Amino acid sequence: EVGRLLAGPQVMDTPGQFRELSLEYARLRPVAERCEAYVALERERTATTAMTRDPDAEVRTLAEEELHAIDARLAADGEELQGFLVPADPLDAHDVFLEIRAAAGGDEAAIFAGDLLRMYTRYADGLGWKVELLSESRGEHGGYREVVTRVSGKDVYARLKFETGTHRVQRVPATEAQGRIHTSTCTVAVLPEQDEV
């Protein structure tokens, strides 16, 4: 239905509607393709079930083996389709502000905050996202006391929203002369950009 509306001539009269329909189509297309594949697999199962009644024992055996494989694929695809039916968070496509603050652990926490920023930056680079440094307060021995970045790209909030919280590391820090293990923590906040009102 959304594809039919996009192909209609009246959608070009309202640019906002064209954008909304295009986004909806992009969201629904993978689900529709998976549903079509699932239905095709069910048809294949029906045809294979008919072959299990063949008078030839070898054909029946091969059909039963194929039927087991199809049933396993149907079960896996069914679970994947159920995941598609969970409604998406409306903020998932938004860009985010990523804030990392050193917490307990002194200079080692600041170094850990720098490590976290490098980790998130590499992750963003791997996904083709853009990371823009907005604010920073450097630590004395490296790293950051506080750093705020803006991360933009496709489905940024969907992938980063569960990173919010306190992160902890236990290691022998570079600032420790006697080799004792220190525990350091940093807080991470992932805030989605809001639409203009």
Q: What is the DSSP string of 23-49?
A: HHHHHHHHHHHHHHHHHHHHHHHHHHH
Q: Which residues contact 123 (CB under 8 A, 6 or more apart)?
A: none
**Burial state string for 141-168 with b = 16 or more CB within 10 A and e = fewer than 16:** eebbbbbbbebeeeebbbbbbebeeebe
SS (H, E, C) 114-133: HHHHHHHHHHHHHCCCEEEE
Percent of the chain with pLDDT over 70: 96
Determine the pLDDT at residue 197: 67
Residue of 163, 143, 144, 145 whose CA lies nearest to 97: 163
Q: How confident is the model at residue 148, as a pLDDT?
A: 92
Kindly state the DSSP code that residue 13 receives in the 8-state scheme: G
Mean pLDDT of the chain: 84
pLDDT for the residue 97: 92
Report the 10 Å Cβ neighbour count for 183: 12
Strand locations in 53-122 (E): 96-102
Determine the pLDDT at residue 174.
Answer: 67
pLDDT, tens only, 163-175 = 888 888 888 876 6
Residue 149 pLDDT > 90: yes
pLDDT digit string (tens) for 58-92? 877 888 888 888 888 888 888 888 887 777 777 87
CA distance between the termini of the chain: 30
If DSSP codes are grouped into helix, strand and coil, which group holds residue 55? coil
